[in-house]
């Protein structure tokens, strides 16, 4: 607030120093420029809130409208036929199947991507000379600059061909778990989508982790070395504990990205209706991909139903972020910092 600001500091910077003016510095109100700036900043903040409220209101209105026409349970149904194409115009849709697909692909993406990202961050900050490290960091950052649609094309045209071998191997070893059984065909699966997501979230998780690990206090590192720690023991004693909460939030941020990733997943997956539990065989769908694929050909109720599913996705991301905050808060309390 302008009244808190000492008038002396309210003078615009970058001007030549002026001689002390005759006016009393203690009673002088904030200058016109200062008030104008405060006013415009406040207006911008209010404007953002108004826009967000308007968007939320519009989406909720549309969603409620669709859900009220739904003839099955919106949260638990596996069907997606909001325009009633197969049921003589009776809307039947639920988000259970696509929410499941969203979670599964994202979890696969995080499980595969996060360890690699953390490894990359440790390698860059702890194992290579600084110059080489920043070069590697730059290369990893470049991954983030590749457009989603390119990842989608690559996943569909290149990666998917090579996934059948890996998928078959996993089935051979872990096939006794229902999730890893297949009908004999592999690819265009939620697993492939998860691998694409892993690569897509890798740069952000690696970049954040790198910045955190880089800030490990010198004293902690030396404390570990002075006890006779090897490099890896030093990392375990000093670097990993220091970075734990930050890296956890980086991973959860990556998870949030994976949840919302649309076009690459839509291109890779062969969508089939209903719930798909087998992640190695073709099939599966996610909320975001479903919206991208269906929106063009949906009618009024269909569009509103897709908006409703988008709201669910938004809610999921919100919960994920909230959990991330809880994790961070708990681990910082434990550290006593």
Partner 1 sequence: MAKRIDVSGLSAYYGSVRAIEDISLTVEPRTVTAFIGPSGCGKSTVLRTLNRMHEVIPGTRVEGKVMLDDVDLYGAGIDPVAVRRTIGMVFQRPNPFPTMSIYENVAAGLRLNGVRGKSDTDGIVEQSLRGANLWNEVKDRLNKPGMGLSGGQQQRLCIARAIAVSPDVLLMDEPCSALDPISTLAIEDLIAQLKNEYTIVIVTHNMQQAARVSDRTAFFNIEGTGKPGKLIEIDDTPRIFANPSQRATEDYITGRFG
Q: Does 84 bind partner 1 (CB under 8 A)?
A: no
Please report how close the Cβ of residue 128 comes to partner 1 at its closest, in angstroms.
10
Q: Does 237 bind partner 1 (CB under 8 A)?
A: yes
Q: Measuring CA to CA, which residue among 219, 194, 212 is closest to residue 248?
A: 212
Beta bridge partners of 92: 81
A 10 A CB-CB count for 180 gives: 18
Residues numbered 274 to 333 that lie near partner 1 (CB under 8 A) are 331
- What DSSP designation does 261 have? -
* Distant-in-sequence contacts of 331-334, Cβ < 8 A, 24+ apart: 331/244, 331/245, 331/248, 332/245
- Pattern of binders to partner 1 over 129-158, x per CB under 8 A? xx----------------------------
Contact 151, 200 (CB under 8 A): yes
Q: For partner 1, which is the closer residue by CB, 11 or 233?
A: 233
Residue found under tokens 């956890």 = 248
Give me the 172-211 binding string for partner 1, x by CB under 8 A, dash otherwise: ----------------------------------------
- Longest CA–CA span in the chain (Å) reads 89
Q: Does 242 bind partner 1 (CB under 8 A)?
A: yes
Q: How far is the CB of 126 from partner 1 (least distance, A)?
A: 11
| Strand locations in the chain (E) | 80-81, 92-93
Nearer to partner 1, 87 or 230 (CB): 230
- Taking the least distance from each CB to partner 1, the nearer of 224 and 305 is 224
- The stretch near partner 1 (CB under 8 A) out of 25-33, 200-208, 240-248, 311-319 is 240-248
The residues in 23-82 that bind partner 1, with binding defined as CB under 8 A, are: none
Task: State the sign of the Cα–Cα–Cα–Cα dihedral 82, 87, 92, 96.
Answer: negative
Instruction: Label residues 32-71 b or e (16+ Cβ within 10 Å = b).
Output: eebeeeeeeeeeeeeeeeeeeeeeeeebeebbeebbebbe
Q: Does 238 bind partner 1 (CB under 8 A)?
A: yes
* Interaction residues for partner 1, span 207-226 (CB under 8 A): 217, 219-226
Q: Among 46, 51, 227, 318, which residue sits at the site for partner 1 (rule: CB under 8 A)?
A: 227
User: Which of 161, 325, 330, 334 contacts partner 1 by CB under 8 A?
Assistant: 334
* Residues 174/227, Cβ–Cβ less than 8 Å: no
Tell me how many residues contact partner 1 (CB under 8 A). Answer: 26
Nearest distance from C-beta of residue 184 to partner 1, angstroms: 49
Main-chain dihedrals φ then ψ at residue 176, nearest 5 degrees: -70, -15
The least CB distance from residue 133 to partner 1, in Å, is 11
Closest CA to 121 of 192, 30, 204, 62: 204
Of residues 105 through 134, those in contact with partner 1 by CB under 8 A are 129-130
Residues that bind partner 1 (CB under 8 A): 129-130, 217, 219-230, 233, 237-238, 241-242, 244, 331, 334-337
């Amino acid at each position: 607030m302008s009244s808190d600001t000492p008038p002396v500091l309210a003078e615009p910077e970058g001007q030549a120093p002026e001689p002390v003016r005759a006016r009393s510095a203690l009673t002088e109100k904030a200058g016109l420029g200062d008030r104008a700036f405060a006013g415009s900043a406040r207006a911008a903040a209010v404007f953002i809130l108004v826009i967000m409220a308007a968007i939320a209101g519009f989406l909720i209105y549309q969603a409620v409208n669709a859900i009220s026409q739904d003839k099955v349970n919106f949260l638990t149904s596996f069907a997606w036929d909001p325009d009633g194409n197969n049921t003589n115009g009776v809307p039947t849709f639920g988000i259970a199947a696509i929410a499941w697909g969203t979670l599964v692909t994202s979890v696969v993406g995080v499980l595969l991507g996060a360890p690699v990202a953390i490894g990359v961050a440790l390698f860059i900050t702890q194992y290579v000379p600084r110059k080489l490290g920043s070069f590697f960091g730059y290369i990893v950052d470049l991954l983030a600059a590749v457009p989603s649609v390119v990842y989608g094309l690559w996943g569909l045209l290149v990666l998917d061909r090579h996934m059948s071998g890996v998928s078959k191997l996993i089935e051979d070893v872990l096939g006794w778990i229902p999730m890893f059984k297949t009908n004999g065909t592999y690819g265009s699966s939620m697993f492939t989508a998860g691998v694409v997501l892993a690569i897509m979230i890798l740069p952000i998780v690696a970049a954040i982790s790198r910045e955190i690990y880089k800030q490990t206090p010198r004293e902690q590192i030396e404390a570990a070395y002075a006890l006779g720690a090897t490099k890896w023991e030093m990392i375990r004693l000093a670097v990993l504990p220091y970075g734990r909460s930050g890296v956890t939030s980086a991973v959860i941020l990556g998870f949030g990205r994976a949840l919302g990733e649309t076009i690459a997943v839509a291109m890779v997956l062969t969508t089939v209706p209903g719930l798909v539990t087998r992640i190695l065989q073709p099939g599966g769908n996610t909320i975001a991909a479903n919206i991208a694929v269906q929106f063009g050909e949906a009618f009024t109720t269909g569009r509103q139903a897709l908006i409703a599913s988008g709201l669910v996705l938004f809610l999921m991301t919100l919960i994920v972020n909230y959990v991330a905050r809880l994790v961070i808060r708990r681990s910082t309390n434990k550290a006593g910092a």
